Amino acid sequence: MELDGAIFQLFANTTGKIAVVTYLTTIQGPSHAKTKLAYLWTLGSLQIASINLLIAFILAQCSPLQELWNEAIPGTCNGRIRNQNFAFFQGSKRWMNCVRAK
């Protein structure tokens, strides 16, 4: 599994998306400004919430946690299909690689 800094990369990706939201709020025009601002920050908040949920899913997919990195440890990884589906929904196609078949 490729988890080499995956959580930090997910946070970096989200930070970039929030930076775009911040930039768009500074250059938006005056027409319907409050509506646009609410819409942009709602999307940004949903992005932050979904990335936190994806990170929780990644860390909770295997029992024990060390089985994520070391397949020789006995344990189960039942949440991989859920992670793949949620990563697709969230838009993190690269993180779908965090799912491996046994």
pLDDT tens-digit map of 36-54: 888 989 999 998 998 888 8
pLDDT on residue 2: 54
CA dist., res. 47 & res. 31, Å (int):
25
Residues in Cβ contact with 11 at an 8 Å cutoff, skipping those fewer than 6 apart = 51
Task: List the structure tokens of 11.
Answer: 């946070």
pLDDT on residue 93: 57
Q: Residue 52: which of 99, 7, 89 has the closest Cα?
A: 7
Residue 31 backbone phi and psi in degrees, to 5: -75, 125
Regions of the chain with pLDDT less than 70: 1-4, 91-102
Residues in Cβ contact with 82 at an 8 Å cutoff, skipping those fewer than 6 apart = 57, 61
- Residue 12, helix vs strand vs coil: helix
Sign, CA dihedral 30-49-69-101, equals: negative
Query: What does pTM read for this prediction?
Result: 0.70
- Residue 58, helix vs strand vs coil: helix
